[in-house]
Amino acid sequence: MEQENEQTAPEGRNKAGRRRKKSLFVAFLLWFFLGIIAAHKIYLRKYREAAMLLLAYFLIPLAAVMAVVFGLMLWGIEIVPPSLRPEEMAALVRDPKFLAVTGVALLALTVVWIWDFTVLMRQVREYNQKPEEDTSRQEGE
């Protein structure tokens, strides 16, 4: 019993000192439920990609919405009236133009989300196949 406690390995390693393999199932669950905060990238120790993904989840839909709004403004179509009272908010949400802009944002998020899943499968496979000596350099990124 005491020998087991003395042989505890550092975090992320098994008792033999080898790097633990990452589970595709755990990575998938993190992607599905906590993907918006890049938990699956952190699980795979891809910290730079986690930061870039956080930016992508917010900047890409914002850019798509801005492009649609500016495009509609160029054609002279108003999405939001200049003065919007709180009681008009319900009517705005049902407006087809507003729904179109919301759809563009959701479509952009969906594209990023699906792209991220395809990358996730490859990254789990690469992490598990990577030689032992390369992992210490990768974990610091």
pLDDT digits (tens, 9 = 90+) for 45-89: 999 999 999 998 889 888 988 888 888 888 888 776 677 777 777
Supply the pLDDT for residue 85: 76
- Does position 103 have pLDDT exceeding 50, yes or no? yes
- Does position 100 have pLDDT exceeding 90, yes or no? no
Given a contact cutoff of 8 angstroms between Cβ atoms, the answer to whether 56 and 44 are in contact is no
| Crossing angle (nearest 10°) for helices 47-74 and 96-129 | 160
Torsion, Cα of 70, 53, 126, 47 (10° steps): 150
pLDDT band of residue 14 (cuts 50, 70, 90) is low
Select from 54, 49, 30, 52 the least CA-distant residue to 40.
Answer: 30
- Does position 41 have pLDDT exceeding 80, yes or no? yes
Structure tokens at 23: 């589970």
Tell me the residue ranges of DSSP E strands in 43-135: none
Listed in sequence order, the residues at least 6 apart from 83 whose beta carbon sits closer than 8 Å to its beta carbon are: none
pTM beyond 0.75:
no
